Amino acid sequence: MPALEIIGAPQSNYVWVVRMVCAEKGVPYELNPARPHSPDVDALHPFGKIPVMRHGDVTLCESKAIATYIDRVFDGPKVIPDDPKLAAQVEQWVSLGNVEFDKVMVRQYVVGYAFPKEPGKPDMAAIGAAAEKMKPQIAVLDKAVASGHLVGDGLTLADINILPMLFYVNRFEEGKAMLGAAKNLSAYMERHFARPSFLASRPPPPAKN
């Protein structure tokens, strides 16, 4: 079988998702740590986003499509259940993660700290506004993970998709406080952040200047 190549910066939460799927299933792959809009990425994604994938003559963009392909092609534990109801619930939570949670938690809150418009000077008003928007989202997730997983009684792509977002939110003061106060979500994070596949795919810490 040809080598699986995952292309994208490992710090991206969506690159992390795809890599965690590989780690969970025991699928070997080559990581090409390319940035958005780099030539390798632009060749496979019409809008230059990461991750993208090559596997022989198969090329894909978008993390959900890549994760689904890997789950169906390779052996190992299923991250999208065969049961139609459970599979639809996974799809539901992945969609909510991508459309709702990522939009606020990562693109507004985390990016506000990590990539301020003025270097070294985060816009605290914008960050505070994003933190307010996160409150109902965290309440929804806290209720949803009361059983230990978002879907069914085992790890699925629904969990894998949201865990990197929570990890990044937990790095900053307001996010850490809100997540720590959410009893179910706090226990969920502690348990899954220690999972071997999560640790194996965790990106390296940012380089110090």
CATH number of 192's domain: 1.20.1050.10
Q: Is the pLDDT of residue 205 over 90?
A: no
* CB 32 within 8 Å of CB 38: no
User: Domain range holding 111?
Assistant: 84-199
Read off the pTM: 0.95
| pLDDT score recorded for residue 206 | 61
Q: Is the pLDDT of residue 208 over 60?
A: no
Please report where in the chains the tokens 């806290």 appear, as a residue: 142
What pLDDT band is residue 209 in, cutting at 50, 70 and 90?
A: very low
Mean pLDDT of the chain: 96
Residues 100 and 154 reside in one and the same domain: yes
Residues 50 and 150 reside in one and the same domain: no
What are the residue ranges of helices labelled H in 26-156? 39-42, 63-73, 84-96, 111-114, 124-144
Q: Is the pLDDT of residue 88 over 60?
A: yes
How far, in Å, CA of 70 to CA of 25, rounded?
Answer: 9
Is residue 204 domain-resident? no
Q: Is the pLDDT of residue 198 over 80?
A: yes
What's the average model confidence in pLDDT over 36-60?
Answer: 97
Residues 106 and 163 reside in one and the same domain: yes
Is residue 39 domain-resident? yes
Q: In the chain, which ranges are E strands?
A: 4-7, 30-32, 52-55, 58-61
Residues 126 and 47 reside in one and the same domain: no
* CB 162 within 8 Å of CB 141: yes
Number of domains observed in the structure of the chain: 2
How large a percentage of the chain has pLDDT more than 90? Answer: 94
Domain boundary (73, 108, 129) is at: 73
